[in-house]
Amino acid sequence: MSGIYNWMYYIASGGLILIGLYIVLVKTNLIKIVIGLNFIDTGINILLICIGYVRGRTAPIFSRPGISPANVVDPVPQALVLTAIVIGVAVLALALSIVIKVYQHNKTLNVTKIKGLKW
């Protein structure tokens, strides 16, 4: 039981990534695809977090008393996730704005119909 418990975050993140990939692969609506990308992003963020997380340890804030380097979690992944979230937001914003433009030009959000560029 505890094995699954230990791996739960990994499974969740993997699940999110796979759901995102499924959306990107299968869904034809652009907005949905963008959401799928976000799913992937989120999944990866969770993955990063759980890589750095050690059960039962605390945040590495050394100004608080009683904190020794031995019982803190790794702070780096959290920093990474913050960056990744920022990047994800930027991509999302850009993606949505481009989707709007695409819709203006094509009057549709169905990617199978937006095939002006091929071959």
Partner 1 sequence: MQLITILIVAFLGAGIVYLIGKISGKARDILAVLASLIVVILVSLAYNQKIYTSFYPLPFLNLSLTLRIDPLSWFFAIAVAGIGFLSILFSLEYMKHYQKLDFYYSMMLFVNAGMLGVVLSADFLSLYIFWEIMSWSTYLLISYKGGKAVGAGLKYIVMSTVGSIAMLFAIVSLYTSYGTLEFSSLASLLQTASSGYILFLLIMFIIGFGIKNAIWPLHTWLPDAHAEAVSPFSAVLSGILVRIGIYGFVLVMYSIVGLNLLHKLGYGLLNFNYILCWIGAISIIIGTFIALLQDDDKRLLAWHAIGQGGYMILGISFGTTLGIAGGIFHTLNHCIYIALLFLVTGAVEYRTGGVRDLNQLGGLIKKMPVTFIGGLIGISGLIGIPLTNGFVSKWLIYKTLIMEKHPFLAFVALIGTWGTILSVYKFLHNIFLGQLPEKYKDVKEVPWAMRLPMIILTSVIILFGILPGIPLNVISGIERSFGIKPLSTIIFGMPREIGELNIINILAAIVVAGVFIYLIFSLSTRSRRVNQYDNYAAGSFIPKDKYQYSVRFYDPVYRIIGPYLRDVVDDFYYWLVEKSKSFFQGVRQIYTGNVNTYALYILLFLAFLIITKIGWGLW
Partner 2 sequence: MVNPSLLIAVPLAFAFSIPLFGLVSKKIGKYIPVVALLINVGISFILIPQILKKPAVVSIGGWSPPFCINLVVGPLGVFLVTLISSIGLLVAIYAISYIKEEPTEKYHMLFLLLITGATGIVLTGDIFNLFVFFEILCISSYALVAYNKDKEGTEAAMKYLIQGSVGSSFVLIGIALLYGMFGTLNMADIASRVTSADPTFLFISLAFLITGFGIEAAVFPLNAWLPDAHSSAPSSISAILSGIAIKTGVYGVARMIYTIFNADGILTFIAFLGLLTLLIGEMSAFRQNDIKRLLAYSSIGQIGLIVFALGIATSLGVFAGLFQIVSHALAKALLFLAAGYMIYRVGSKSIDSLSGLGRKMPLTSFAFTIGSFSLIGLPPFAGFISKFSIVYAAIQVKKPIFLVFVVIALIATVIEAGYFFKVVQNLYFKEGKNVDNVTETSGYIIVPMIILVISIIVIGIHPQFITGLLKGAAGELLGRTGYIGWVLGGS
Residues that bind partner 1 (CB under 8 A): 21, 24-28, 33, 111-112, 114-119
Please report whether residue 62 would count as binding partner 2 according to CB under 8 A.
no
* Three-state DSSP class for residue 79: helix
Decide if residue 12 touches partner 2 (CB under 8 A): no
CA distance 50 to 81: 11
73 makes contact with partner 2 (CB under 8 A): no
Instruction: Report the C-alpha gap between 59 and 77 in whole angstroms.
Output: 12
The entry of partner 2, partner 1, none that residue 109 binds, CB within 5 to 8 Å by partner kind = none
Our finding on whether 83 is near partner 2 (CB under 8 A) is yes
Q: For residue 47, what are the contacts with CB-CB under 8 A and spacing of at least 6?
A: 9, 10, 13, 14, 17
Stretch that binds partner 2, among 1-9, 53-61, 63-71, 75-83 (CB under 8 A): 75-83
Is-contact 106 63, C-beta < 8 A?
no
Query: What's 113's DSSP letter?
Result: T
Give the Cα separation of 58 and 85 in Å (integer). 22
Binding of residue 23 to partner 2 (CB under 8 A): no
**Whether 38 contacts 92, CB under 8 Å:** yes
Q: Which partner in partner 2, partner 1, none is near 28 (CB below 5 to 8 A by kind)?
A: partner 1
Residues in the site for partner 2, rule: CB under 8 A? 17, 20-21, 24, 30, 33-34, 37, 40-41, 44, 47-48, 51-52, 74, 76-77, 80, 83-84, 87, 90-91, 94-95, 98-99, 101-102, 105-106, 114, 116-117, 119
